[in-house]
Structure 1
Amino acid sequence: MKRHAPITGEQLADNLGVSRPTLRSDLSLLVMLGLLDAKPKVGYFLGNSYRTNREPLQQLNTMKVREVQGVPVNVPDYLSVHDAVITLFTENADTLLVVNEQKRFVGIVTPKDLLKITLGNAGAAAIPVSMVMTRYPNIVTLMPDDSVMDAIRKMSLHQVDCLPVIVPREEQTADPEVTGWVSKSNIIRLMADIAMDGELGEPEL
């Protein structure tokens, strides 16, 4: 943004290699927080909050993932696709983390994964999620001591809405333990809280 501003949403999407709709909610949030400003027919540029107060960004660099991670929705690898769909709705989750009998992290299942297997497949409901999940280690993950800014960068780079937080076991070939997850909604709430705290802390003129 600093290099190309003012820049339109379409240009920004092209530079990042994503679609314009993918960025819409993120850009709206950044404008709301004052980190970006936007002018019709001109584009986006750095906002007053970014130019005058870098403290929120510094907080994201120093705050650790373990401080903001949420409780994941774990399902066993033998759970059926049918039950996985029900779990997504009942838990209001965008992603399910899959664990084996030893409660170790082995993969993730998203609504897109479930939709792919069920379309035109009458018997798909009985298939276990282990057959449709994306398997670890082919998954972008976080460590508890990673910074929140690291999480934001990974989400943006890999275009994912949720990142599992794992702790590797001493045996390098063993599956890791999953301790939590960081979702885009976690990040949005955190940034909103930081922005609110900043506003409350400003002295009155």
Structure 2
Amino acid sequence: MIDFTKRQKEIMTILSKHEPITAEQIAEMLGVSKGTLRSDLAVLVMTGQIEAKPKVGYYLSKNMQKQKQQDIWNQTFVKDIQGVAITVKGTTTVNDAVISLFLEDVGTLIVVNEHNELEGIVSRKDLLKVTLGNAQATSMPVQLVMTKQPKIYTIEAEKTVFEAAQMMVYYEVDSLPVVKPVENSQALKVIGRITKTNIVKALIEMGSEA
């Protein structure tokens, strides 16, 4: 592994924020002459860290751009982008749960107890399945149709957005309850929710700020 100098690392940091940029502009930001940077830029180009185009300037190589995106994913945490959890009690009727789904415009509801601890998940599919051809099902409590613990995929606020995305893809779900373990208990307190939409919006914002 190549051990880059402090100035070479500073050059790559500048490029990550301002690419494409000329050697003159880099030199001005670092407070040195263009000639002083010549050897540093040559090393970075030869090692594939950066690329240069005539009349355009220097920019990070594609490999470095991928690394930069990976770093963003690994440095952004669930707690940074999570949304409010839409919850109902287990005694909530199927009819009221359906109304909540449409009013909140969500695909799933998180079922909690009086202490806001996770009990289950109920989805549109669950509700549709139980109500089709059974008009009386609308008065049933959701606890009879929900997916119960421990068969629920959850994530903690301190996990990275990358880990959340991996879980959603692997388990084929659109959202995850964000939970916090309750001390001296196996219970999980619901503190939020992260969705694919949260992640996509965050990535767009990160890209525009980079």
TM-score using structure 1 length: 0.69
Give the structure 2 partner of residue 119 of structure 1: 132
Deviation at 1:67, TM superposition (A): 1.1
Structure 1 window deviating more from structure 2 (61-70 vs 145-154): it is 61-70
Letter in 1 for 2:82: Q
Q: Is residue 164–residue 178 contact of structure 1 (8 Å, CA) maintained in 2?
A: yes
Change in 2 beyond 3 A, CA 1:172/1:50: farther
Larger radius of gyration: 2
Give the structure 1 partner of residue 200 of structure 2: 188
Change in 2 beyond 3 A, CA 1:164/1:49: farther
Identity %: 39
Distance across 2 between alignment mates of 1:70 and 1:179: 9
Residue from 145, 163, 167 that aligns with 1:150: 163
1:149-172 deviation per Cα after TM superposition (whole angstroms, max 9, x unaligned): 000000000000000111111233
Change in 2 beyond 3 A, CA 1:50/1:81: farther
2:63 maps to 1:51: yes
Distance across 2 between alignment mates of 1:138 and 1:196: 38
- Give 3-state SS (helix, strand or coil) of 2:155's partner: coil
Distance across 1 between alignment mates of 2:126 and 2:61: 39
Give the structure 2 partner of residue 74 of structure 1: 87
| Structure 1 segments of 4+ aligned residues over 3 angstroms from their partners | 48-52
2:108 maps to 1:95: yes
Q: Is residue 141–residue 163 contact of structure 1 (8 Å, CA) maintained in 2?
A: yes
- Give 3-state SS (helix, strand or coil) of 1:66's partner: helix
Change in 2 beyond 3 A, CA 1:86/1:194: same
Change in 2 beyond 3 A, CA 1:135/1:195: same
The count of corresponding residues between Structure 1 and Structure 2 is 150
Which runs of no fewer than 5 residues in structure 2 stay unpaired?
1-59
Give the structure 1 partner of residue 149 of structure 2: 136
- Give 3-state SS (helix, strand or coil) of 1:123's partner: helix
RMSD, matched Cα = 1.6
Change in 2 beyond 3 A, CA 1:184/1:49: farther
1:6-28 deviation per Cα after TM superposition (whole angstroms, max 9, x unaligned): xxxxxxxxxxxxxxxxxxxxxxx
Higher share in helix? 2
Which runs of no fewer than 5 residues in structure 1 stay unpaired?
1-47, 199-205
Letter in 1 for 2:72: Q
TM-score using structure 2 length: 0.68
1:103-156 deviation per Cα after TM superposition (whole angstroms, max 9, x unaligned): 211111110110111111121100011111111221111011111100000000
Letter in 2 for 1:177: K
2:205 maps to 1:179: no
Change in 2 beyond 3 A, CA 1:170/1:152: same
